[in-house]
Chain A
């Protein structure tokens, strides 16, 4: 077997902009703040960056997004790439950065994206923009009027039918993740909530209530990947990439033959195989939480519990900070922030902080391995990374 590219690269620095509602900050301003924080965290300078990976935005159309961001930062990297894998972009950026470094095209890659998704216009416009963004089939689904939550609601309803998953179990995901956000001073929503609060919150698309759904936020996220050789100079402990995996099952939820088993089965299997680890070896899991049902299905498909048991696992074993496997410890998309693809990058940032022991009040003791999972589209495209620290 060929030596995987990530064997020669490490995560050197992480950072995010202010999150939540930042009406005065443009996408480039937010991205610059996140980028500078990540570089400072690494002990590197903007002039050290010779590779840049960025993503398209929802709030405005950029031709060549990575080039626009590079010029916005005032740099001319030798490697540029635009990543467009929705919520799996954060995880996919890590792997791509490592490959770019291994190929010799560059030595230090800045991965950054973010936008003012909440402030660029009224919330209603953001919802409409996302509903029109192609996640629903433009000819065969969008004309009927689905929200993105409706597309995930179809999955939740089917999961309830097949496995007797309950609205209370889904609500528990939101409650636990909110508790994590309570300990994260950067999070957009920090007030504690109960299962009843979730069940009594406004119904969006049955069975999903508004508190079962991700936030809409302003914010940007960044991380810096550099060569192992370079990692001796870093300010903080270098984070190793142990394994990556990708899995695709479908694009449109309406035509898939099996809604409740996802590409996470394959992405997880490949990441674990590459890392030489199994689910019980993982100390903390930053699972993509666009909706409560997403976390339940990822727990199953990544092998943390048997298929169909995700709801009962959340209720009985738990995903809180004291549980066997704490999940999405920064507060995730449900409570910390969801500014688009930057939201999935924040799961990477939190994994790095947990591995370094820098997660303050929400620190899990002795974290040696962290799993990060990104989900894109309507639960169809998945990326898994397993990270570790020496």
Chain B
């Protein structure tokens, strides 16, 4: 994790808020920004804690367990890069720790999917689009 001095406060702050997925790749676990001041997680990442405004953010490991808050099966690819992947499932994960975020859901039969089912983190995959950014994949528990 890189650190530098925040010119506004003179304190060191980390860039964890900019790269939580990337930070966690080595052991394939999920981390989210965790505020050292108010001890609350948040996501999507912000440069300051949206709950209390502190910039003392650290990488907090989460269990990777949660429930399926909502989902959709995408039938039309948004661009040529995704053409070979349709249909695929996008879901919103409600984590045990609180924050919600979008993830791909892998499931052998789409009719098994239901809002409220327990799900857990499986792995990261790389986007087929130009960013090649990693995204999290969840499966039914």
Chain B contacts of A78 at CB under 8 A? none
Binds B, one of A18-26, A146-154, A170-178, A356-364: A146-154
In the complex, how many angstroms separate the beta carbon of B78 from the nearest chain A beta carbon?
4
Chain A contacts of B82 at CB under 8 A? 145
In Å, the complex CA distance between A159 and B43 comes to 23
In Å, the complex CA distance between A140 and B131 comes to 11
Closest to B131 in A: A143
In the complex, how many angstroms separate the beta carbon of A377 from the nearest chain B beta carbon?
14
CB within 8 Å of A: which B60-85 residues: 69-82, 85
Chain A contacts of B48 at CB under 8 A? none
Q: Are B85 and A255 in contact (CB under 8 A)?
A: no
Q: Are B90 and A128 in contact (CB under 8 A)?
A: no
Q: Are A158 and B115 in contact (CB under 8 A)?
A: yes
Q: Are A259 and B43 in contact (CB under 8 A)?
A: no
In Å, the complex CA distance between A343 and B126 comes to 36
In Å, the complex CA distance between A203 and B72 comes to 11
Q: Are B72 and A150 in contact (CB under 8 A)?
A: yes
Binds A, one of B2-10, B23-31, B99-107: B99-107
Q: Are B70 and A161 in contact (CB under 8 A)?
A: yes
Q: Are A146 and B74 in contact (CB under 8 A)?
A: yes
Chain B contacts of A205 at CB under 8 A? 72-76, 90
Closest to B93 in A: A254
Q: Are A144 and B127 in contact (CB under 8 A)?
A: yes
Chain A contacts of B128 at CB under 8 A? 145
In Å, the complex CA distance between A143 and B76 comes to 15
In the complex, how many angstroms separate the beta carbon of A201 from the nearest chain B beta carbon?
12
Q: Which of B44, B78, B81 has the most CB of A within 10 A?
A: B78
Q: Give the total number of A-B pairs whose CB atoms are below 8 A apart.
A: 112
Q: Using C-beta atoms within 8 Å of the partner chain, give the interface range for chain A.
A: 35 or more
| B133 at interface by CB-CB < 8 Å | yes
Q: Are A254 and B102 in contact (CB under 8 A)?
A: yes
Q: Are B100 and A142 in contact (CB under 8 A)?
A: no
| A139 at interface by CB-CB < 8 Å | yes
Chain A contacts of B102 at CB under 8 A? 137, 140-141, 144, 146, 253-254
Contact of A259 among B70, B79, B104, B127 (CB under 8 A): B70
In Å, the complex CA distance between A143 and B81 comes to 10
Known: A144-B127, A147-B76. A155 touches B85 (CB 8 A): no
Chain A contacts of B21 at CB under 8 A? 140
Q: Are B70 and A154 in contact (CB under 8 A)?
A: yes
Q: Are A131 and B78 in contact (CB under 8 A)?
A: yes
| A127 at interface by CB-CB < 8 Å | yes
In Å, the complex CA distance between A150 and B87 comes to 12
Q: Are B74 and A255 in contact (CB under 8 A)?
A: no
Given contacts A138-B131, A144-B135, A147-B78, 8 further A-B contacts (CB under 8 A): A128-B80, A144-B104, A145-B78, A146-B102, A207-B72, A255-B44, A255-B101, A259-B70
Chosen A-B contacts, 11 in total, with CB atoms closer than 8 Å, are: A128-B80, A139-B133, A144-B102, A145-B90, A145-B129, A146-B74, A150-B78, A161-B116, A205-B74, A255-B43, A257-B100
User: Which 4 A-B residue pairs are closest in the complex by CB-CB distance?
Assistant: A143-B127, A254-B102, A131-B78, A153-B72
